[in-house]
Amino acid sequence: MENILILPGDGIGPEVMGEVRRVIDWFGTQRGFDVSLDEDLVGGCAYDAHGAAISDAAMEKAMAADAVLLGAVGGPKWDNVAYAARPEAGLLRLRADLELFANLRPAICFSALADASSLKRDLVEGLDIMIVRELTGGVYFGEPRGITDLGNGQRRGVNTQVYETYEIERIARVAGDIAMKRDRRLASAEKRNVMESGLLWNEEVTRIVSAEFPDLALEHVLADNCAMQLVRNPKQYDVLVTDNLFGDILSDVAAMLTGSLGMLPSASLGAPDAETGRARALYEPVHGSAPDIAGEGKANPIASIMSFAMALKYTFDRADDADLLERAVMHVLDAGFRTGDIMQPDMKAVGTSGMGDAVLAALNELGK
């Protein structure tokens, strides 16, 4: 039996994760997905209950789970909480303790929503890119770092961009595996022209791909050019691998191409277990806790539902079920169901549970 830990978190987290639970139950009863679900606290609610953004007991459950599904954390209520106990610290601890070094952010533009993009329909319709971002290294973690007083009225801020071979190798392998399951095209973005860490990145990615993924077409692109290409002709990319800093920026650029925050899923993966081959994994929507609409039943649950689709594919090896769930979401959008964030003229307005109902109805129809 599989084992999933659900961490709904704060704000709209519990609302959207409620719909994910219904979808998981459907796969249990209709498709034989044998899973045991557990639930715990993360973020502000965990701070209120335990004084920490995630308790040791919840961390233990996360370490033992096959997959963790997270809603969102944070909100104005916890703005003045001490830095170490702030809601985001729960997320950071999960990422660090589970050693989640690969962040997968698909940017998919559903035909029904192409007009919501800031780009023209023909540039984004049918867009399906996977951005693989290195998550635990690079300039956000490199030492030395800090602000020092130079004593002459000046201060110096320092961060260090640093990558070692093993860090590049393992992210290149994750990206290579994904690209082999897709269109067998991989682009790698860095700044080899001005950064030694970029040069190393370029060389190590080339080495891993030629040794382990000889059937992949590998292209190197400078990260600044990549940003331009993503808004000029995004469909030229299939899988894009890049470091922590560039990935932060490029994945947000790609996200905007698709229209709405309420639609974007993500996955963070660790190294595959030596015995089972299964990687530790956390799945979560890209959006935050949306305090402005929390508790109103208005939130779009699709980003969280699509995150579960990623879990079906990347953790549970159920690509057919993932595909069914993605088709169900597409069907619902084609049928005109819209939450407020993706509302268009003449469409059917629904709330969080209405969208969940529509996805379940589509699953019943398509999954026969």
Catalytic residue numbers? Answer: 140, 191, 224, 248, 252
74 is a site residue for ligand NAD (CB under 6 A) = yes
Count of residues in contact with ligand NAD, rule CB under 6 A: 22
Q: Report helix, strand or coil for 361.
A: helix
Q: How far apart are CA 230 and CA 232, in angstroms?
A: 6
Shortest distance in whole angstroms from residue 219 CB to ligand NAD = 31
Segment interacting with ligand NAD, rule: CB under 6 A, options 196-204, 251-259, 298-306, 356-364: 298-306
259 is a site residue for ligand NAD (CB under 6 A) = no
20 is a site residue for ligand NAD (CB under 6 A) = no
Shortest distance in whole angstroms from residue 248 CB to ligand NAD = 12
Binding residue (CB under 6 A) for ligand NAD from 5, 222, 303, 355:
303
Segment interacting with ligand NAD, rule: CB under 6 A, options 28-36, 135-143, 144-152, 289-297: 289-297
Output 87 or 198, the one with its CB closest to ligand NAD.
Answer: 87
Tokens representing residue 237 in the block: 């990319």
Distances in Å between the Cα of 45 and the Cα atoms of 85, 148, 248, 288 are: 11, 36, 27, 15
Residues 91 to 130 in contact with ligand NAD, rule: CB under 6 A: 91
C-beta of residue 324 within 8 angstroms of C-beta of residue 367: yes
C-beta of residue 139 within 8 angstroms of C-beta of residue 161: yes
Q: How far apart are CA 327 and CA 21, in angstroms?
A: 18
Binding residue (CB under 6 A) for ligand NAD from 7, 72, 113, 130:
72
Binding residue (CB under 6 A) for ligand NAD from 222, 299, 358, 359:
299
Segment interacting with ligand NAD, rule: CB under 6 A, options 28-36, 70-78, 94-102, 216-224: 70-78
Shortest distance in whole angstroms from residue 88 CB to ligand NAD = 6
291 is a site residue for ligand NAD (CB under 6 A) = yes
86 is a site residue for ligand NAD (CB under 6 A) = no
Shortest distance in whole angstroms from residue 21 CB to ligand NAD = 16
85 is a site residue for ligand NAD (CB under 6 A) = no
Q: Give me the amino acid identity at 307.
A: S
Shortest distance in whole angstroms from residue 149 CB to ligand NAD = 30
287 is a site residue for ligand NAD (CB under 6 A) = yes
290 is a site residue for ligand NAD (CB under 6 A) = yes
Tokens representing residue 306 in the block: 């699509």
Long-range contacts of 123-129 (CB under 8 A, 24+ apart): 123/233, 123/234, 123/235, 124/234, 124/235, 124/257, 124/258, 126/235, 127/234, 127/235, 127/257, 127/258, 128/238, 129/234, 129/235, 129/237, 129/238, 129/239, 129/240, 129/254
Exposed, middle or buried by CB within 10 Å (0-12, 13-18, 19+), for 187? buried
Distances in Å between the Cα of 95 and the Cα atoms of 249, 267, 273 are: 19, 11, 16
At CA 313, angle to CA 309 and CA 205, rounded to 5?
A: 120
Output 9 or 270, the one with its CB closest to ligand NAD.
Answer: 9
292 is a site residue for ligand NAD (CB under 6 A) = yes
293 is a site residue for ligand NAD (CB under 6 A) = yes
| CA dihedral of residues 22, 27, 33, 36 (deg, nearest 10) | 0
| Range 327-363 burial, b when 16+ CB lie within 10 A, else e | ebbbbbbeeebbbebbeeeeeeebbbebbbbbbbebb
Binding residue (CB under 6 A) for ligand NAD from 137, 138, 259, 262:
262
C-beta of residue 69 within 8 angstroms of C-beta of residue 308: yes
Q: Give me the amino acid identity at 152.
A: N
Binding residue (CB under 6 A) for ligand NAD from 300, 309, 321, 337:
300
Output 176 or 288, the one with its CB closest to ligand NAD.
Answer: 288
Residues 328 to 347 in contact with ligand NAD, rule: CB under 6 A: 339, 341
Chain residues binding ligand NAD by CB under 6 A are 12, 16, 72-75, 91, 261-262, 284, 287-293, 299-300, 303, 339, 341
